[in-house]
Amino acid sequence: MSSASNFTLFNGKHGFLEAQIRSRRDTMVSESDYITLTQCQNIQDMIMNMSTSDYSKAVAGMEEPTPSALAERMTQQLVREFENVRESAEEPLCTFLDYMTHGYIIDNVVLLLLGTLHGRDTEALLQRCHPLGMVEGLSSVQAAQNVDDLYHSVIEETPIRQYFPQLSEGEASRYFSETDIELLRNRLYKSYLEHFLDYCLSLKGATRRAMGKILKFEADRRSISIALNSLGTDISSEEKASVLPHLGFLYPGFHEELVEAKDFDAVRGACDVFEDYSAVFSAVVADQSRSIEDEFN
């Protein structure tokens, strides 16, 4: 097929959405805008700076703004824009965008699991859920009487059910009460990142190349965080190894060093061969008020 024919087919299927996105490039917050925002002294300064961006509607009319209120408004606009793109998307973009939401769904489900295990108010828990992870079915958590109900009536109806173990009737309560929830979260993210990478590798061109690098970095970030957060705990090397994603620039050559690391310097040593990661550790050592997560973000 000629390149002209390919271009015509692309425009017919994706042209409208591409035009929408291209038209918004100049309205995105630029690097210089971000630098300016980091120098703001208070919320009013931030609102003033954001009022000249595409987020002007989100910050308009905030009489007594608070950090949480500002974050909520910004998130609401982001979610609306994401959902508009998702509604206009054709395959393979539809599936790609769905994968982008799975991390938020995982966090929401883990929050609801924790709350159910500890008898928390489900309405309050739902209010804390991230809107990008509020898929159909999660709201029915209010009807769940126990963890078994939550698993079979809620979790099994979500797009992330593939990342959970298959549990028969009556098994869920025992499994979740005996499983460390943070280890479970890490197992879910491990499976998610591996599935997402497989999907991106099935695509062609720039998406395959760019997402390969992005997902490998995200996997390394999680692996490093797991190694650091498990220091001084009774989590075994085998348990740590079971939750490290099987992808990344550190995989597989440096995973053994990460799971066997006994202190900060040992984790740092496993990552020092990579210049970007070495710089992150050096920054934390230079300014101990900042964490590894601060530097990664």
**Mean predicted confidence (pLDDT) in 218-239:** 96
Q: How confident is residue 29, by pLDDT bands cut at 50, 70 and 90?
A: confident
> In this structure, are 78 and 100 located in the same domain?
no
Give the percent of the chain with pLDDT over 70. Answer: 96
CA dist., res. 138 & res. 126, Å (int): 8
pLDDT surpassing 60 at residue 17: yes
Higher model confidence: residue 266 or residue 21? 266
- CB-CB neighbours of 147 under 10 Å: 19
| pLDDT in the model for residue 54 | 79
| pLDDT in the model for residue 47 | 87
Q: How confident is residue 5, by pLDDT bands cut at 50, 70 and 90?
A: low
Peptide bond before residue 252 is cis, with ω within 30 degrees of 0: yes
**Mean predicted confidence (pLDDT) in 25-53:** 84
> In this structure, are 221 and 255 located in the same domain?
yes
Higher model confidence: residue 117 or residue 236? 236
Given 157, 179, 201, the domain boundary residue is 179
Whose tokens are 């698993």? That residue is 151
Among 129-138, 142-151, 154-163, 249-258, name the most confident range: 249-258
> In this structure, are 74 and 106 located in the same domain?
no
CA dist., res. 55 & res. 42, Å (int): 17
> In this structure, are 108 and 156 located in the same domain?
yes
| pLDDT in the model for residue 168 | 86
Give the percent of the chain with pLDDT over 90. Answer: 53
**Mean predicted confidence (pLDDT) in 98-116:** 94
Q: How confident is residue 6, by pLDDT bands cut at 50, 70 and 90?
A: low
| pLDDT in the model for residue 51 | 82
| pLDDT in the model for residue 152 | 87
pLDDT surpassing 80 at residue 25: no
Whether 203 is in a domain gets the answer: no
| pLDDT in the model for residue 122 | 84
- Residue range of the domain that includes 132: 95-179
What are the residue ranges of helices labelled H in the chain?
Answer: 3-23, 31-38, 43-50, 56-59, 67-88, 93-117, 122-128, 147-149, 171-178, 181-201, 205-229, 237-243, 255-260, 264-271, 275-286, 292-296
Whether 233 is in a domain gets the answer: yes
Whether 122 is in a domain gets the answer: yes
Number of domains in the chain: 3
| Average predicted confidence (pLDDT) for the chain | 89
Whose tokens are 């309405």? That residue is 123
Whether 120 is in a domain gets the answer: yes
Higher model confidence: residue 51 or residue 260? 260
Whether 88 is in a domain gets the answer: no
> In this structure, are 100 and 175 located in the same domain?
yes
> In this structure, are 99 and 74 located in the same domain?
no
Query: Positive or negative, the Cα torsion across 147, 150, 151, 153?
Result: positive
Q: How confident is residue 3, by pLDDT bands cut at 50, 70 and 90?
A: low
Buried b (16+ CB within 10 A) or exposed e, 238-255: ebbeebbbebbbbbeebb
> In this structure, are 137 and 71 located in the same domain?
no
Whether 205 is in a domain gets the answer: no
Higher model confidence: residue 169 or residue 203? 203
Whether 87 is in a domain gets the answer: no
Tokens linked to 100: 């982008």
Residue 84 near residue 76, CB atoms below 8 Å: no
Residue 177 near residue 183, CB atoms below 8 Å: no
Ranking 55-64, 113-122, 179-188, 285-294 by mean pLDDT, the lowest is: 55-64
> In this structure, are 175 and 99 located in the same domain?
yes
Whether 218 is in a domain gets the answer: yes
> In this structure, are 70 and 127 located in the same domain?
no
